[in-house]
Structure 1
Amino acid sequence: MIKEEVEPQETVEETEEIEEVKDVEYTGLCNNPYFPVKPDTFWNYKVQNPSDTYEYVSSFIEIANESFMEKIESKVFNADIKWLCLSDGLVQSEYSALMLEDDSQGMEFTTESYEGVTLPSPDKWIIGYKWDTRYRVRTTIIVEDEQVTFTGDIIIKNEIVLIESVTVPAGTFPEAFKIDSDKSMNISVDIGGTSMSFDAYTDISSWYAEDTGLVKQISKATCGTTTIELLYIEEKGI
């Protein structure tokens, strides 16, 4: 008589547990079709600013139900950006991670607190929806050969203004959501009773496509205009 070998039931249970953990990457508060967070997927972008043209790659690691890390890699800078997933939407918890190019370039910020979200929850993606994002920050710069610590506020006022077609190297997205953002920065310090301040303003237009994420962004500041466009998306390990 030939005896059949039967795989232990534990193996099946272990497989089911692995699949359940993997599902966390696509569900929960972090699941936003306008900013899809997927493992082994790489968004490749091109940046053009007044002083340089370069590419960067965005990917996601440490994906959980309430947070994830966005990994940015380029020849200009590398960054690990922590995102928090809230009932109202997704928020970058560190302001310094928001900057690719604007009037505050060259400064390193420490975020003391934040309010609001960076991107709203999926049910709020309708024309006319408005929200604010606020950061309380501090930074140290050199003033007359001395290190001086400035503190201040960054306020970003956002509004979904249009659904329109946008074309970038990655293709044409016929129903992209356009978000207009007005960013104001006021950094100040008192030195020996004398108040000093730094003000900067940036106008930002961003286009997001469902199941794709950011496809284009144009930032206009005193230092010039910066354009970011999606080149292609690469999926690995599938």
Structure 2
Amino acid sequence: MKTNKIFSMFVMGILSLSMLGCIPTPPVEATVVPVVVESTPTTEVPAGNSSGACANPYLPVIVGATWGYKVTGPVSDTFTRTILSVEPNSFTDQDVFGTGVTRQSKWNCDNGNLTALNPASGVSSSVNTENVTIDFQTTEFSGITLPATINPGDTWSQSATLEGVQTITGIEVPTKNQFTVNCTAIGIETITVEAGTFDAMRFDCPITMNITITMNDSPIQTDLAINSMNWHAQDIGLIKTTTTGTGFDSTIELVSYSIPLSP
């Protein structure tokens, strides 16, 4: 029973790193209590367009840009996403969840094509909370996370292998995750969320994952298949994501945002 609980925690931890570009699902701790989400006033600041290699119409890459989201599903939560730093060919973002979890990741940029979990960035991503530390390196990689231009009917994909160690309450467990995300742009749709009503590009992304963790010198493997629908608005970013899959049905919605003008 204890092994099954720990295994579920590890799966959710690695899942959160696999879906940075499409489904920012938080890792789940053993003692997580659902958070009551209170309404957060929308902060509508004139959006600034990022420039250089990281300029993407569907994700303003500007230092200090913040987005507030609420998560509904098996575990309700809130999180704030912030662009921490921007370099000529990369940027770093951070998610801080209401449950105390912090996730940080470095993205690479190439003519507006944005890629999470790129091995060139060193440590690909990390998750930290009171009793959990997760650090992963991308050992194999191909594709992009968010293209520079998206038109209805466009397709793109990203595949990667993440390897590293998850430490939960002092237990170190080697973990490997191989995943593939295949996205198809559907078209512009009008989406209403707590932050307002937006005309947003919808793209659907089936995700397949093969996760292996080693406990007591024995590998434990599981396969997951998850479907996500994502809506991104120009000059704003992610508006809404819905995911479906066994035990992973959830919705993420924008409740507030603040995007500084690009310097």
**1:66 and 2:119 aligned:** no
1:117 aligned partner: 144
CA distance in 2, matches of 1:83, 1:64: 10
Q: Pairwise CA RMSD of aligned residues?
A: 3.3
Candidates 38, 49, 64, aligned match of 2:62: 38
Contact 2:181–2:208 (CA under 8 A) maintained in structure 1: yes
Contact 2:94–2:105 (CA under 8 A) maintained in structure 1: yes
- For structure 1, the residue ranges without an aligned partner over 5 or more in a row are 1-24, 100-105
Contact 1:42–1:235 (CA under 8 A) maintained in structure 2: yes
**1:93 and 2:150 aligned:** no
- 1:84 is displaced (CA, Å) by 0.6
- 1:149 is displaced (CA, Å) by 3.6
Contact 1:96–1:108 (CA under 8 A) maintained in structure 2: no
* Post-superposition CA distance 1:100-119 (Å, at most 9, x none): xxxxxx99462223211110
1:227 aligned partner: 251
- 1:85 is displaced (CA, Å) by 0.2
- 1:62 is displaced (CA, Å) by 1.8
Contact 1:135–1:154 (CA under 8 A) maintained in structure 2: yes
The structure that has the greater radius of gyration is 1
Contact 1:217–1:228 (CA under 8 A) maintained in structure 2: yes
CA distance in 1, matches of 2:163, 2:250: 25
Contact 1:161–1:178 (CA under 8 A) maintained in structure 2: yes
1:84 aligned partner: 108
Q: Which amino acid aligns with 2:79?
A: Y
- 1:139 is displaced (CA, Å) by 5.0
CA distance in 2, matches of 1:171, 1:98: 31
Q: Which amino acid aligns with 1:72?
A: D
- 1:138 is displaced (CA, Å) by 2.6
1:205 aligned partner: 229
Contact 2:57–2:148 (CA under 8 A) maintained in structure 1: no
**1:126 and 2:128 aligned:** no
Q: Which amino acid aligns with 1:177?
A: M
- 1:37 is displaced (CA, Å) by 1.3
133 and 40 in structure 1: CA distance in 2 versus 1, 3 angstrom threshold: same
235 and 36 in structure 1: CA distance in 2 versus 1, 3 angstrom threshold: closer
40 and 139 in structure 1: CA distance in 2 versus 1, 3 angstrom threshold: closer
- 1:177 is displaced (CA, Å) by 0.6
CA distance in 1, matches of 2:95, 2:196: 22
Give the alignment's TM-score, normalised by structure 2: 0.66
- 1:237 is displaced (CA, Å) by 9.8
75 and 96 in structure 1: CA distance in 2 versus 1, 3 angstrom threshold: farther
Give the alignment's TM-score, normalised by structure 1: 0.72
**1:172 and 2:197 aligned:** yes
173 and 188 in structure 1: CA distance in 2 versus 1, 3 angstrom threshold: same
Candidates 197, 207, 212, aligned match of 1:183: 207
1:29 aligned partner: 53
- 1:64 is displaced (CA, Å) by 2.0
Q: Which amino acid aligns with 1:170?
A: A
57 and 152 in structure 1: CA distance in 2 versus 1, 3 angstrom threshold: closer
Q: Which amino acid aligns with 2:103?
A: A
SS at match of 1:63: strand
162 and 131 in structure 1: CA distance in 2 versus 1, 3 angstrom threshold: same
- 1:196 is displaced (CA, Å) by 5.2
2:182 aligned partner: 157
CA distance in 1, matches of 2:176, 2:190: 40
